[in-house]
């Protein structure tokens, strides 16, 4: 390509609700892309975008300069990387960008193991949901070597806005803090909806009335609308929200912190999941509050 630097080759492992639109954006930006998912059917739509669908994770990463992972939890990431042979298959000097939400201690452990194998590692969890993944407006919290992050500015720009938040594991700490705010705010909006309706006002009119005031937030905008419309198809599932909250509480215990608001909303999400709401969007916490307030 005369006068143009060749784009780095990318492998993307994990094509769920978030991974698929992220990988699609990378393909559309012109990056040579190989993808893999346990369920191959989820990868097939990316062939139309020019991506190569690999039959195994090790085949996907073999020639990649950059490998993205977007998986359910730290155990799954570790299983794919180390038990599944992905780390061994990566070339020396390649960069692993883990956008999964996992425990900070696991991210640091993965980083150390990969460094011994000649692979650089960034923990770079994201916020913004499926809407942000589709639009390329994700907030990306990156932990690791700042120079490595700076060198990937063009790649990250396709997905959203990246911020270097500290050393290895710091990205995961910031994502957990983000999830605290999301969960507590969802709880606050849902409780307000219960109060408004029980008091005789319209939930929709209430939300419209306070938009732009001090209570404005993306949660009120997007999840408040879900609560009004009663649309709880998952953008972010309650199962995943509870997983993150449990990780927050484990980290708080490790750091000898008292987080009463987070502890309370963790209990409410735990009850909601127990009631069968795990696969509903986390804004569906409203349903749990309606269940415990039957006259609302």
Please identify every residue annotated as catalytic. Answer: 175
Cβ proximity of 106 and 83 under 8 Å: no
Distance from the first to the final alpha carbon of the chain: 64
CB neighbour class for 27 (10 Å; exposed up to 12, middle 13-18, buried from 19): buried
What DSSP string describes the chain? -TTSPPPPPEEEE--STTHHHHHHHHHHTT--EEEE-SSGGGTGGGGGGT-EE-SSHHHHHTT-SEEEE--SSHHHHHIIIIISSHHHHSPTT-EEEE-S---HHHHHHHHHHHHHTT-EEEE--EESHHHHHHHT-EEEEEES-HHHHHHTHHHHHHHEEEEEEESTTHHHHHHHHHHHHHHHHHHHHHHHHHHHHHTT--HHHHHHHHTTSTT--HIIIIIHHHHHHT----SSBHHHHHHHHHHHHHHHHHTT---HHHHHHHHHHHHHIIIIITTSBGGGHHHHHHHH-TT-
């Amino acid at each position: 390509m005369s006068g143009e630097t060749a784009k780095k080759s990318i492998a993307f492992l994990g094509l769920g609700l978030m991974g698929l639109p992220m990988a699609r954006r990378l393909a559309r930006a012109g990056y040579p892309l190989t993808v893999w998912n346990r369920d191959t059917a989820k990868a097939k739509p990316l062939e139309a975008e020019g991506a190569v669908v690999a039959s195994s994770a090790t085949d996907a990463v073999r020639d990649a300069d950059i490998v993205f992972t977007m998986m359910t939890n730290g155990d799954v990431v570790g299983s794919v990387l180390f038990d599944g042979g992905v780390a061994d298959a990566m070339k020396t000097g390649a960069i692993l960008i883990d956008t999964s939400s996992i425990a900070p201690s696991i991210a640091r452990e993965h980083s150390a193991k990969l460094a011994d194998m000649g692979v650089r590692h960034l923990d770079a969890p994201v916020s913004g949901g499926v809407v942000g993944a589709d639009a390329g407006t994700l907030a990306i919290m990156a932990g690791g070597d700042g120079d490595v992050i700076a060198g990937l500015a063009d790649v990250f720009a396709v997905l959203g806005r990246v911020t270097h938040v500290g050393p290895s594991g710091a990205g995961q700490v910031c994502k957990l803090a983000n999830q605290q705010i999301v969960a507590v705010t969802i709880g606050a909006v849902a409780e307000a909806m219960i109060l408004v309706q029980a008091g005789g006002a319209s939930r929709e009119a209430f939300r419209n009335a306070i938009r732009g005031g001090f209570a404005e937030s993306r949660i009120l905008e997007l999840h408040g609308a879900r609560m009004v419309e009663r649309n709880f198809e998952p953008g972010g599932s309650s199962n995943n929200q509870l997983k993150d909250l449990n990780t927050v509480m484990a980290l708080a215990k490790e750091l000898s912190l008292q987080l009463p608001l987070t502890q309370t909303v963790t209990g409410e999400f735990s009850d909601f999941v127990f009631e069968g709401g795990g696969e509903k969007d986390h804004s569906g916490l409203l349903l749990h509050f309606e269940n415990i307030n039957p006259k609302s």
